[in-house]
Amino acid sequence: MQSKELRQGISDSIPIVLGYLPLGFAFGVLAGEAGMSTIQATAMSILCFTGAGQYITLGLMQAGGAVITIIVANILVNLRYILFSTSLVPYLKGRVPTITGSLLCYGLTDETYAVSMNRYQDHPPTALYIAGLNFSSHLGWILSTFLGAVLGAYITNPDRLGLNFTLPAMFVCLLVFMIRHRSDVLVALSAALICLLIGHFAPSTMGNLFNIIIATIIAASLGMVINE
């Protein structure tokens, strides 16, 4: 039974890994262009594992941004994981030890969160399932970064490959899988509209993605009201 949970986690990570391959590869290529070595780029994917944060870091590095600016930008971008991890507590409580869950959540990303929440609607979480899902996804990101860093020297124009479209496409697919009721559609559309409105009237929030955090909080609150 336990090995089955591990295999299921690995199996559920396959679509995520396939989505990570071009993204991690592109990051490895761009990291090389920014002056990072293969070891540095790969180590960053091992220690940080935040796609958006890593891309922002590269942009700030190339723009000559200060270290404190990079740190603050990453904190702002990754604030959403507080919301993610908090929403997982009711599912993990009493089923996965707190310390174990905290360690396994190192591999928590937007994609693994969406897949986990979708599964937890019908199946209780287990430590082995989370390990299989999160670690396999992380490994895919690390390996793709390594390949991109190694082969990047042979790619003269990365934009030609269209790798920047992969992330939005993957998020759309994950959203579709999460929708089960009409109210879910309303919440999703509300989040998108609020995010765009905030970005329009307060353009500065788009640079640090703070408009996404605000929209997430408002839309999540709306979802709670609707479900009640």
Instruction: Compare 215 and 157 and report the one with higher pLDDT.
Output: 215
Tokens at 152, concatenated: 């990047």
pLDDT digits (tens, 9 = 90+) for 82-97: 888 888 888 998 899 8
100: closest CA among 127, 81, 125, 126? 127
Q: Please check the confidence at residue 170 and state whether its pLDDT lies above 60.
A: no
Q: What is the mean pLDDT of the chain?
A: 84
Residue 191 has pLDDT above 70, yes or no: yes
pLDDT given for residue 130 in this prediction: 92
Q: Residue 169 has what pLDDT?
A: 67
Decide if pLDDT at 13 tops 90.
Answer: yes
Length of the chain: 228
CB 147 within 8 Å of CB 28: yes
pLDDT of residue 182: 84
Phi, then psi, of 85 in degrees rounded to 5: -65, -35
Compute how many other C-beta atoms are within 10 angstroms of the C-beta atom of residue 40. Answer: 13
pLDDT surpasses 80 at 8: yes
Q: What percent of the chain has pLDDT over 70?
A: 87
Average pLDDT over residues 148-154: 88
Q: pTM for this one?
A: 0.72
Which residue ranges make up each domain of the chain?
2-160, 179-228
Residue with the bigger pLDDT between 59 and 94: it is 94
Q: What is the pLDDT of residue 30?
A: 83
**pLDDT (mean) for 30-40:** 89
Split at pLDDT 50, 70, 90, the class of 215 is confident
Specify the pLDDT at position 140: 95
